[in-house]
Amino acid sequence: MKSTKKIVDLAAHFWSQVDTSEDKNACWEWTGLRNKARGGYGTCYVKRQSRRAHRVAFEFSVGKIPTGLLVLHSCDNPPCCNPNHLRLGTHKDNSLEMFSKGRNNNFPFHAFGERCGLSKLTDETVKDILNESGKTPLEISQKYGVSRSSIYCIIHRKTWKHLNTGETKAKVRKQRRPHRRVVAA
Ligand SMILES: [Zn+2]
């Protein structure tokens, strides 16, 4: 079968450009061209088309990548082509992983609620905040150790909107101008 032979040759040619000298648990880095602008992914040419090396590695070792899915690195090393470090995932998985690993340098991902790495609050705490009655936003902010503007946004349902606890605005007493300055400890 001529076509099968061609695929085998392509694969052999591909793997000859991957540093597989280490064992199967190590990263196998692409030794060819790398796309520095895109985080250092290996670039290879298959049938005259420029492809990301780790995606090709996945196809040669595991199989076809379903449309719309990404090949993600568990090792966080873009030029790595070790199939043991590659898995399928969605754009959403990738974004969440970026956040959890702190790789989100200016990545335009809209985090919300406790998934946002900067959030001091949890879903549970926000539910408590929404159930606070007769307190000013300042009092609530001191109780939970977050800024007054965060509390304002929560009780006016501008943030944490995914928590369905109903309308709670009425329960919160309108803030009066404080007579004395309260300095947060
Ligand atoms: Zn790796």
Between the CA of 146 and the centroid of ligand 1 the distance, in Å, is 39
Domain interval for residue 72: 2-100
Lowest mean pLDDT among 14-18, 160-164, 178-182: 178-182
Number of domains in the chain: 2
Question: How many C-alpha atoms does 33 have within 13 Å on its Cβ side?
Answer: 9
Closest CA to 11 of 50, 47, 65: 47
| CATH at 58 | 3.90.75
Query: pLDDT for 68-113, tens place per residue?
Result: 999 999 999 999 999 999 999 998 888 777 767 665 544 434 444 4
Position 180 scores a pLDDT of 57
E strands in 25-173: 34-35, 41-46, 49-52, 70-73, 86-89
Same domain, 139 and 92: no
Closest CA to 103 of 65, 68, 75, 69: 75
Q: Is 110 part of any domain?
A: no
Position 121 scores a pLDDT of 74
Q: Is 16 part of any domain?
A: yes
Between the CA of 78 and the centroid of ligand 1 the distance, in Å, is 8
CA distance 49 to 32: 15
Between the CA of 88 and the centroid of ligand 1 the distance, in Å, is 14
Between the CA of 83 and the centroid of ligand 1 the distance, in Å, is 8
pLDDT range class, residue 127, cuts 50, 70, 90 = confident
Position 181 scores a pLDDT of 57
Q: Is 18 part of any domain?
A: yes
pTM here is 0.52
Between the CA of 156 and the centroid of ligand 1 the distance, in Å, is 45
Last residue of a domain, one of 100, 127, 148: 100
